[in-house]
Structure 1
């Protein structure tokens, strides 16, 4: 092997090592909930409790949508651009109706439960109210459940009108708006409630009178 070939090989090996190192650094992404309820992402964990609590960790910039990888291409594009988040509480019939509507239509969504006083305070800071359910579709925020209104917003975002989810797809289990300490009684109770919710039968969605995009919905 001549000197030029050796130098080329060394450069390629060095570049591969650098890419591996950068990839390893990108894998540690922390989702941090601050004292004010604000969520941020960082490659470093908070140094102390005043800076916030680690809620979840993920890989790269897609940590919040890690379950989207198994979706069909077009649906994955919409879900990544306009993610759907549902905020619910216990013994909330409208919350159950909203969850059933999203599930029946095949909308990939994240669910945040509001159970503790900390959850309610965080919801107040986030929405200016504590009424539930509360739905976000991208930057759009919808307070309360209305089948026709939710349908209009989902249509405007570009979600399919009928399910395009793979047969084996499952949304991630509901998680508290404010993370609970692992192993605490409250955390165990929340896990049990989430498991019970996941096993409940899904009611068919109610027909909508006006599926057109309502005035003022822009993304």
Structure 2
């Protein structure tokens, strides 16, 4: 009984430390030691080293399952789908095309006058739902061939069959 009570007490003490969310960024360090050897570490160099590089690394955001070509295209040419309240079938078809091709995208709903004003200010034109932006390119209204061309030109892979 003493062992199980002690174990339970230890677990209660360590659980908060295990549950704490550590800083999601991590540093790596690079320096040249006294022998002229380049060293890399996740710990700072010895205090005798005055010149070193520190790099902050961000953890993977969960897109590691995507193929490299998709991650590269998404980094260079992010995709945003602008939809409206009364958009219906065209927005559904546009969303389905992006999903079928496995394209990561964000969706912005143009529902309020503030949403519409922000769209006008950003693009200097009245919104049409749906609108697709791929990097700096834009296609208003749903036309699958035009959307496919935009995505292909940005380097996104074709739909999986």
Query: How far is the alpha carbon of 1:12 from its aligned partner?
Result: 4.7
Aligned length: 117
> Which residue of structure 1 aligns with residue 156 of structure 2?
159
1:133 and 1:9, CA in 2 relative to 1: closer, same or farther beyond 3 A?
A: same
Report matched runs for 1:78-89 at 5 Å.
78-89=73-84
**Is 2:111 the counterpart of 1:74?**
no
Structure 1 residue 70: deviation in Å?
3.9
Q: How does 1:31-180 map to 2 (within 5 A)?
A: 66=61, 68-93=63-88, 94-127=90-123, 128-163=125-160
Q: Does 1:9 align with 2:6?
A: no
Give 5+ residue unaligned stretches, structure 2.
Answer: 1-33, 36-44
SS in structure 1 at match of 2:132: strand
TM-score normalized by the length of structure 1: 0.46
Shift of 1:152: 1.2
CA contact (8 A) 1:84 1:138 kept: yes
Please say which structure displays the higher CA radius of gyration. 2
- 4+ residue segments displaced more than 4 Å: 12-15
TM-score by length of 2: 0.60
The SS at the match of 2:117 is: helix
Structure (1/2) with the larger helix percentage:
1
Deviation, 1:67, is: 5.3
User: Would you tell me which structure has more strand in proportion to its own residues?
Assistant: 2
Contact 1:68–1:80 (CA under 8 A) maintained in structure 2: no
Change (3 A) 1:159 1:72: same
- Cα distance in 2 for partners of 1:67, 1:113 equals 24
Gap runs ≥5 in structure 1: 27-58, 165-219
